[in-house]
Amino acid sequence: MRRNFCSMAAAVLFVAGCSLQAAPASAAAQTVSAAATNTADEAAIKEVLASYETALNASKTEAVMSLYADDAVVLPQETPTVIGSKAVTQFYVGTFKAIKLDLKFQIAEVQVVSNEWAFLRTTSNGTIKILATGNDVPAHNQELFLLRKEAGLWKLARYGFSSALAPAQR
């Protein structure tokens, strides 16, 4: 058993050593390729955010949900975690029945961490109209989106947000 392990370890080290010898030429190509991919991915992620802002401000549940992955999770402030497409849909239906949003998102950070995952950190400012009373209240939020690429498209997989206003200002 020990002999088999040693033989296997030697084979792994040999393969790794061969890979390392070829790395300098391919590493440069990978860096160029990754930079081009990241630029295209970042642009696509920014487009997802722009579409989300438009759909959110228009109170369009279907348009919002078209941006989400099927296993989406939303982590709203002071509300239980919302898990899965059906529950997330109901969350937005309820939200749009209660309030009308007028928000503008500002990107603080976009990081593509792999071919399939990225995160987007934002802030948003604007107003929230309470539909029951007609009152407008200020909104200033901080958000973190985790996106996953599915069939070549970036989708919102996880989304957490909270108000950046003091409780007395909300």
Burial of 142 (0-12, 13-18, 19+ CB in 10 A): middle
Question: How many domains is the chain built from?
Answer: 1
Please state the pTM of the whole predicted model: 0.78
Whether 130 is in a domain gets the answer: yes
Whether 145 is in a domain gets the answer: yes
pLDDT digits (tens, 9 = 90+) for 40-89: 999 999 999 999 999 999 999 999 999 999 999 999 999 999 999 999 99
- Pull the structure tokens for residue 102: 């007028």
pLDDT digits (tens, 9 = 90+) for 94-150: 999 999 999 999 999 999 999 999 999 999 999 999 999 999 999 999 999 999 999
Which residues span the domain enclosing 113?
A: 44-169
Whether 31 is in a domain gets the answer: no
DSSP per-residue string spanning 80-121: --EESHHHHHHHHHHHHHHEEEEEEEEEEEEEE-SSSEEEEE
The CATH number covering residue 50 comes to 3.10.450.50
Whether 23 is in a domain gets the answer: no
